Structure 1
Amino acid sequence: MPEAPIRGDGFTIQQLFNQFQFRLDPYQREYSWAREDVKMLIDDLTGHFIEDWTPGDDRREVRHYRPYFLGPFVYYRDDDLAALVDGQQRITTLHLLLLQLRRLAIDADRPEYQNDLAALEPLIAGTSYGERAYAIRSEKRTPVLEAIFEDKPYVPPADAGPSVENLYKRSQELYELLPEAIRDEALPLFIHWLLNRVCLVGINANDRRQGWEIFETMNDRGVQLGPADLLKSFLLRKASNRDNLPRLGDAWGRVLTRIDNRAPQAAAKFLQSLLIGRHAQNEDEAADISVSFHGWVQEHHASRMGLINAPDFARFIERDLVKLSTRYATLKAASATLEAGLEPVFYNAKNEIDQMPFLMAAIDPDDTEAQFRDKVFLVAAYLDLVFVRMAVNNRLTKLGGVEADRIPVLLDLRSTRDVDGVAKALGRRIALLDVDFTGVKGYGLRADNRPQVRYLLARLTAFVETESGRPNEMPRYLDKDEPFEIEHIWANKFERHQPEVKTEAAFRVARNRVGALLLLRKSHNASYQDAPYEQKVEWYRGQNHLAASLHAATHQRNKPFTAGFIKKHELGRLFRPMPNFGRTEIEVRQQLYERLCELIWNPGDLGFILPPGMRATAVEASQAELAMPVRQVPSRAARRTRAHFGGVTVARLVAAGALTVGEQLHLTYKRVSHTARINQAGNIQLDSGEVFESPSPAGSTVTGKSTMNGWSAWKVRRGGNLTPLFDIRADALRRGLLEEIGRAEGVN
Structure 2
Amino acid sequence: MVTAKDQSVAALFDKRSFILDYYQRDYVWEEPQITRLMNDLSRKFLAQWSDRHSLRDVSSYDPYFLGPYIVCTADGRTSLVDGQQRIITLLLLLIFLKRKAETTPQAHSKAAQLSTLIRTDRFGLQTFRVDVGEYAECFKALLDGRGYNVDDAPQNIKRIWQAYDLIEVHFPVELGGDVLVMFIDWLLFRVSLVVMDAGDRERAEEMFQSINDCGVRLSPMDHLKRFLLSDADPDPRELEGTWTAMVSALENVEKGAAFAYLRTVFRARFPEAAQRPGPSLNDATHVWVRVRADEIWPDPKTDGPARFLTEVLYRFHSLYITLLRARSETNPYVPAVRYNAFHGITEQFDLTFAALRPDDSKEVREQKAGKVAAFLDLFYVTQTLYDERVDQKHVDELVAEVMPAVRLTESVEELGRALGKHAADWPARLERIPELSYGANRRFVHYVLTRLTAWVERGATGGEYDPTDRFLRHRPGERDFEIEHLFTSTASRYAHKEPNARYYGHLRNRIGALLLLDGLDNGSYGGMLLEDKLMMYRKDTRLAGMINPDFFYRGNVKLREFLRFRGLLQMVPTYDSGTALEPFIDARGRFYREMAKRIWSLETLGLAPDSVPGPAATATGKRTHYGVRFQDLVQARFVAPGDRLVGHRRNESFHARVRPDGNLETASAPGAVSPAVAPSLSKAMENAGAGGGNGWSFWQVERTGERLDSVRQRYLNQSGQ
TM-score, normalized by length of structure 1? 0.85
Report the equivalent of 1:138.
Answer: 132
The residue correspondences of 1:81-120 to structure 2 (distance < 5 A) are 81-108=77-104, 110=105, 112-120=106-114
2:187 to 156, 180, 194: 194
2:269 to 269, 275, 278: 278
Report the equivalent of 1:376.
Answer: 369
The 1:335/1:26 distance shift into structure 2, 3 A limit, reads: closer
2:380 touches 2:390 (CA, 8 Å); kept in 1? Answer: no
1:336 touches 1:349 (CA, 8 Å); kept in 2? Answer: yes
Q: Does structure 1 residue 360 correspond to structure 2 residue 340?
A: no
1:549 touches 1:577 (CA, 8 Å); kept in 2? Answer: yes
Give, in angstroms, the shift of residue 430 of structure 1.
1.7
AA matched with 1:522: G
Give, in angstroms, the shift of residue 536 of structure 1.
1.7
Give, in angstroms, the shift of residue 549 of structure 1.
1.0
Report the equivalent of 1:542.
Answer: 539
Q: Does structure 1 residue 36 correspond to structure 2 residue 32?
A: yes
Compare 296-305 and 403-412 and name the one that shifted more.
296-305
Give, in angstroms, the shift of residue 290 of structure 1.
1.8
1:428 touches 1:610 (CA, 8 Å); kept in 2? Answer: yes
RMSD: 3.5
2:617 touches 2:624 (CA, 8 Å); kept in 1? Answer: no
The 1:203/1:464 distance shift into structure 2, 3 A limit, reads: same
Give, in angstroms, the shift of residue 594 of structure 1.
0.8
- The separation in 1 between residues aligned to 2:563 and 2:28, in whole angstroms, is 46
The residue correspondences of 1:345-744 to structure 2 (distance < 5 A) are 345-353=337-345, 354-399=347-392, 401-433=394-426, 436-446=429-439, 449-469=441-461, 471-481=465-475, 483-497=480-494, 506-558=503-555, 560-561=557-558, 563-579=560-576, 580=579, 582-612=581-611, 614=612, 628=614, 633-634=619-620, 642=624, 659-660=639-640, 663-666=643-646, 675-678=655-658, 692=680, 699=685, 702-703=688-689, 705=691, 714=699, 716-718=701-703, 727-729=705-707, 743-744=717-718
Report the equivalent of 1:165.
Answer: 158
**Secondary structure in 2 aligned to 1:348?**
helix
The 1:262/1:550 distance shift into structure 2, 3 A limit, reads: closer
- The separation in 2 between residues aligned to 1:600 and 1:214, in whole angstroms, is 53
AA matched with 2:318: T
1:374 touches 1:419 (CA, 8 Å); kept in 2? Answer: yes
Compare 69-78 and 393-402 and name the one that shifted more.
393-402
Give, in angstroms, the shift of residue 437 of structure 1.
0.7
Q: Does structure 1 residue 61 correspond to structure 2 residue 57?
A: yes
1:669 touches 1:703 (CA, 8 Å); kept in 2? Answer: no
1:74 touches 1:85 (CA, 8 Å); kept in 2? Answer: yes
AA matched with 2:185: H
- The separation in 2 between residues aligned to 1:55 and 1:127, in whole angstroms, is 37
The 1:176/1:532 distance shift into structure 2, 3 A limit, reads: same
1:423-456 residue CA offsets vs partner (Å, 9 max, x unmatched): 2111211214485211113122236x33322221
Give, in angstroms, the shift of residue 63 of structure 1.
1.1
AA matched with 2:265: L
The 1:193/1:692 distance shift into structure 2, 3 A limit, reads: farther
1:231 touches 1:294 (CA, 8 Å); kept in 2? Answer: yes
- The separation in 2 between residues aligned to 1:671 and 1:169, in whole angstroms, is 26
1:576-603 residue CA offsets vs partner (Å, 9 max, x unmatched): 3221361211111111111001111221
- The separation in 1 between residues aligned to 2:326 and 2:261, in whole angstroms, is 15
AA matched with 1:259: L
AA matched with 1:93: T
- The separation in 1 between residues aligned to 2:352 and 2:665, in whole angstroms, is 36
Give, in angstroms, the shift of residue 205 of structure 1.
2.1
**Secondary structure in 2 aligned to 1:480?**
coil
1:278 touches 1:410 (CA, 8 Å); kept in 2? Answer: no
- The separation in 1 between residues aligned to 2:182 and 2:12, in whole angstroms, is 19
Report the equivalent of 1:245.
Answer: 236
1:224-276 residue CA offsets vs partner (Å, 9 max, x unmatched): 33333222111111x223x2423322222232244345631111111111111
- The separation in 2 between residues aligned to 1:95 and 1:528, in whole angstroms, is 37
AA matched with 2:281: I
1:509 touches 1:702 (CA, 8 Å); kept in 2? Answer: no
1:259-303 residue CA offsets vs partner (Å, 9 max, x unmatched): 345631111111111111222138735993222232232233343
Q: Does structure 1 residue 208 correspond to structure 2 residue 188?
A: no
- The separation in 1 between residues aligned to 2:258 and 2:438, in whole angstroms, is 38
Give, in angstroms, the shift of residue 344 of structure 1.
2.4
1:40-87 residue CA offsets vs partner (Å, 9 max, x unmatched): 222211111111122353322221211111111111224553111111
**Secondary structure in 2 aligned to 1:141?**
helix
The 1:388/1:399 distance shift into structure 2, 3 A limit, reads: same
1:652 touches 1:738 (CA, 8 Å); kept in 2? Answer: no
AA matched with 1:325: H
Gaps of 5+ in 2: 667-674
AA matched with 1:535: D
Bigger RCO (CA 8 Å, 6+ sep): 1
Query: Sequence identity of aligned pairs in percent?
Result: 27
1:555 touches 1:577 (CA, 8 Å); kept in 2? Answer: no
1:123 to 107, 113, 117: 117
Q: Does structure 1 residue 264 correspond to structure 2 residue 258?
A: no
- The separation in 1 between residues aligned to 2:719 and 2:221, in whole angstroms, is 39
Give, in angstroms, the shift of residue 655 of structure 1.
9.4
Count matched residues. 703
Report the equivalent of 1:8.
Answer: 4
Gaps of 5+ in 1: 615-623
Give, in angstroms, the shift of residue 676 of structure 1.
3.7
1:11 touches 1:202 (CA, 8 Å); kept in 2? Answer: yes
Give, in angstroms, the shift of residue 385 of structure 1.
1.9
Compare 554-563 and 129-138 and name the one that shifted more.
554-563
TM-score, normalized by length of structure 2? 0.88
- The separation in 2 between residues aligned to 1:312 and 1:404, in whole angstroms, is 30
Give, in angstroms, the shift of residue 121 of structure 1.
1.3
**Secondary structure in 2 aligned to 1:486?**
strand
- The separation in 2 between residues aligned to 1:421 and 1:503, in whole angstroms, is 55
1:393 touches 1:691 (CA, 8 Å); kept in 2? Answer: no
2:9 touches 2:191 (CA, 8 Å); kept in 1? Answer: yes
The 1:434/1:182 distance shift into structure 2, 3 A limit, reads: farther
